[in-house]
Chain A
Amino acid sequence: MSSRTAVKEQQAPVTETATQRGTLRPVEKRTLTIAVAGNPNAGKSTLINAIAGSRLHVGNWPGVTVEKKEASFDYEGTRIRLVDLPGTYSLSPYTQEEIIARDYLVDERPDLILNVVDSTNLERNLYLTVQLMELGIPVVMALNIYDEAQSKGYRIDVAGMEKMLGIKVIPTSATKKSGLDQLLITAVATMEDLSAHVPHQLNYGEDIETATDFMAGILHHSHPALLERYPKRWLLLKLVEGDSNVRQTTNLNDEAQLGEALQHLKRAHGEDLEAVLAEVRYSLATGLTREVLQKPELPKTEITEKIDRIVLHRVFGIPIFLGAMWIMFKLTFDLSKPFADWIGAMISGPFKHWAEALLGLIHAPDWTVSLVTDGVIAGTGNVLVFVPMIFAMMFFITFLEGSGYMARAAFVMDRAMHSIGLHGKSFIPMLLGFGCNVPAIYATRTLENPRDKALTALLVPLMSCGARLPVYVVFIGAFFPTRGGTVLWSLYVMGILLAIMMGFIFKKTLFRGDAPMFIMELPPYRVPSLKSLMIHTWEKGKHFLVKAGTYILAVSIMVWFLLNLPWGVEHKRDSYLGQVGAVVAPALAPLGFGNWEASSSLIAGLVAKEIVVGTMGEIYVKKEAEKVAQKPTFIEDLQETGSGLAKAFREAGTNISSTFGISSISADEDAAKTAERSPLREELKKQFTPLAAYAFLVFVLLYMPCVVAAAAMVHEFGTWKWYGVAFGYQMVLAWSAAAIIYQGGRLLGLGG
């Protein structure tokens, strides 16, 4: 933002002046802590990203932010710390997001609350605003998504809102970055003159107001420290509501401590005083909305409703979801395969030659040349090959998230999820699992009760994460080149179906009980901006690059040693890894891949699933130097790199334009050339039959969660118990499913 640039320019003279005066004390900067609070999907993270230039995860569905996050920047000589709170509809203590947001606001006492309100859903958003105003912290409202409200023909009386609420209201559009400067100016101005920005207090009626006054008097004498520690009005209202968390924290469990006032209220209004207060707040939100909002008289059927009539259809909803997934995988495969082939050719060709030449220059021992080419390059390189596919898939997943379709997917799956004792909201962490299981496990904290959390976390590893993609793609390229998208789709769908089946079994055994009620907000459809898509695709995909440079590299090195120890071993089968693989191999024989190579790769893949491919690359690698009589020159390698990239672009363009003509180009190409470009695929064809290859893919899909997912489960639940359950059931499920596919396929005459 221009304002930030201006700040830096203004700061320099100030420092200079101070130095000239001989002041040794550094120039102190004020720090203003602003808590950003609002309903889910009101655009809080987008707003922070737009203001601070940060990259908090955003998505067009509720519950993207599940814990508070921060971004800091300088503005007009003030250090501003923005704290992004999870989206909440209220400050009640029922969901983890509400508890996190509430605890922060009450305990940490930020300098200011920036209440982000969705202008297109004013009434619902104002319910939270009323509660925020009770905290005794200055509030500034960002009337966000204002551009969309205007395009719908909504007219909002901003000045009227300010007058009625007693807070500053600034129309903003985070996606278009409008109103943000004004918002910051107002926030700083509010802090400079607090007395002029005191929020109005909602009057809850004579009975309740009298009771709170009476209770305040009692607490003033009996518990003065509590009135110091907590916002007074908020504390009194929570005690009236009977908020169990507050009563427990304040040790005011006994209503008698609060005097006769509370008993009187209950006699007059019934036991459920929380409902009484909620009703007053809703009335205010409704009344205020009626006063300040003018909607067009005859609203047209909105585009969102038109689309929803189709995609949320009772019968067609699930087929449409499955179709959308199929298209996503098809496009992923078509778009990225030529680039993956190009990277593969570069790694096994020029990069390998250059590494050998470099090591030769420094007179490195022969075995280190083998370590680099057959270990690091074959291991890590075989994972890097699939980076284009991972990025393509993350791009499409980000698009679906940003468009609002993911929330619909959860909605259409609600009925299926109910059959396993969960609700559609549990499907959201599972959908996140398509990217990476680890954030998906953390996302289970959006669920209300521990039972739902544990059950969902157990099912998340069945969602096929991006790490499994390299394994699928290398086998699909070898065995199913013309039906790649469909085979890929079948694996993802199998993951979902088995998750539903396992959920059903768990419901009957470990998690007995009724499915909770589910109310899911369906956000309007939006076209995500290209910039936002690119940023979030990068944020999701870079994780795989970092992995390749860290623990996949480390495991590749270890696997090379394990394949070459005892030192001087003639055949890899006799190496330490080969021996362990050979011990495990008989257990995998009924699945069609009872060879030591496959089992060794699966063992190495326990660290991360991509490592299965990396290890196979190391095991099956051939000594190119012995086969190739004359190596290409550096110039020839460079020419190959350039022409290969140009060809990849052409093929990607052709694949996309001819849509559904997947991989035909590669399939038609000269077999010898393919073998040269993809040595691993050619070796796999000798070791596996197509049926055994599919069984292997199913096993990779289902067998135990990687160690990072294990750490996430232990971190999230504080116990190894659920990881133990996941490990056990997934191993059994993986073996059984692969055995059924392989043995069943053989019986059906599909090969052996």
Chain B
Amino acid sequence: MKMGISDLIIAAVILSGACYLLYHSLWKKKGHCCGSGCDGCSKK
């Protein structure tokens, strides 16, 4: 199975999205923890 240019572009977009999601959820949102040290979870 060979990858064409369009496949490469789609793969790059998907991987970039996954990397962003990982970075955003783990570092920006601190893993979405609902612990006392997190903002947002407990606020109305």
Contact = CB atoms under 8 A, between A and B. Distances in A.
Q: Tell me, yes or no, whether A binds B.
A: yes
Interface of A: 52-57, 65-67, 69-73, 365-368, 371, 436, 438-443, 445, 539-540, 542-543, 546-547, 550-551, 553-555, 557-558, 561, 567-568, 607-608, 706-708, 711-712, 715-716
A443 B7 contact: no
A711 B36 contact: no
A571 to B, nearest CB: 14
Interface in B28-44: 29-38, 41-44
- SS class, residues of chain A in contact with chain B: helix
Contact of B1 (A52, A56, A568): A568
Nearest to A541: B34
Nearest 8 Cβ contacts at the A-B interface? A439-B35, A708-B31, A550-B25, A438-B33, A442-B37, A554-B22, A554-B21, A54-B44
Given A551-B22, A551-B26, A439 B31 contact: no
A540 B36 contact: no
A685 to B, nearest CB: 31
B42 A711 contact: no
A712 B34 contact: no
B2 to A, nearest CB: 7
A547 B35 contact: no
A73 B44 CA distance: 9
A716 B33 CA distance: 14
A707 B32 CA distance: 12
B31 A547 contact: yes
Contacts of A52: 44
A436 B42 CA distance: 16
A440 B36 CA distance: 9
B25 A551 contact: yes
- SS class, residues of chain B in contact with chain A: helix
Contacts of A53: 44
A551 B37 contact: no
Given A71-B44, A367-B7, A557-B18, A540 B1 contact: no
Given A553-B18, A715-B37, 5 more contacts: A441-B35, A550-B32, A551-B31, A558-B18, A568-B1
Contacts of A540: 34
Given A371-B14, A708-B26, A66 B1 contact: no
Given A365-B10, A567-B1, A707 B31 contact: yes
A62 to B, nearest CB: 14
A49 to B, nearest CB: 9
Nearest to A71: B44
B37 A554 contact: no
A439 B1 contact: no
A65 B37 CA distance: 10
B21 A712 contact: no
A6 to B, nearest CB: 19
Nearest to B4: A365
Contact of A550 (B2, B10, B21, B44): B21
A67 B37 CA distance: 8
Contacts of B7: 365, 367
A716 B29 CA distance: 15
A224 B25 CA distance: 49
A568 B25 CA distance: 31
B19 A442 contact: no
A707 B11 CA distance: 26
24 contacts: A53-B44, A57-B42, A70-B43, A367-B1, A436-B33, A438-B33, A439-B36, A442-B35, A442-B36, A542-B34, A543-B33, A551-B22, A551-B25, A553-B18, A553-B21, A554-B21, A554-B22, A558-B18, A558-B19, A567-B3, A568-B1, A707-B31, A711-B30, A715-B30
Given A561-B11, A607-B26, A438 B35 contact: yes
Nearest to A556: B18
Contacts of A542: 34
Interface residues of B, number: 32
A35 B34 CA distance: 23
A557 B42 contact: no
Contacts of B44: 52-55, 70-73
B34 to A, nearest CB: 5
A712 B32 contact: no
Contacts of A438: 30-31, 33, 35, 37-38
A711 B25 CA distance: 12
B43 A69 contact: yes
B33 A439 contact: yes
Contacts of B32: 543, 546-547, 550
A101 to B, nearest CB: 14
B25 A712 contact: no
A156 to B, nearest CB: 32
B14 A554 contact: no
A561 B15 contact: yes
B1 A558 contact: no
Nearest to A82: B44
Nearest to B34: A543
A72 B19 CA distance: 36
A107 B6 CA distance: 60
B26 A436 contact: no
Contacts of A712: 30, 33, 35, 37
A554 B35 contact: no
B3 to A, nearest CB: 5
Contacts of B14: 371, 557
A67 B39 CA distance: 11
B37 A568 contact: no
B40 to A, nearest CB: 11
A554 to B, nearest CB: 4
A542 B35 CA distance: 13
Contacts of A707: 26, 31
B41 to A, nearest CB: 8
A550 B33 CA distance: 12
Contacts of B22: 551, 554-555, 558, 607
Contacts of B37: 67, 438-439, 441-442, 712, 715-716
Which of the listed residues B11, B33, B36, B41 has the most CB atoms from chain A within 10 Å of its own CB?
B36
A677 to B, nearest CB: 29
A561 B40 CA distance: 33
Contacts of B31: 438, 547, 551, 608, 706-708, 711
A711 B35 contact: no
Contacts of A706: 31
Contacts of A440: 35
Which of the listed residues B3, B26, B30 has the most CB atoms from chain A within 10 Å of its own CB?
B26
Contacts of A57: 34, 36, 42
A568 B27 contact: no
A55 B40 CA distance: 11
